[in-house]
Amino acid sequence: MNDILLFLITISIIAFWWYGSQSKELTIIEAKRLCGLDNLQFLDQTVEQQKLWITRSKQGNLCFCRSYTFEFTTTGEQRYQGRILVVGGKITKSELDVYRIHD
pLDDT tens by residue, 31-43: 999 999 999 999 9
Give the Cα separation of 93 and 95 in Å (integer).
Answer: 7
pLDDT tens by residue, 81-100: 999 999 999 999 999 999 98
Res 102 pLDDT > 80: no
pLDDT tens by residue, 35-86: 999 999 999 999 999 999 999 988 889 999 999 999 999 988 899 999 999 9
Write down the mean pLDDT value for the chain: 94
3-state helix vs strand vs coil in the chain, percent to 5: 35, 35, 30
Give the Cα separation of 4 and 73 in Å (integer).
Answer: 50
SS3 67: strand
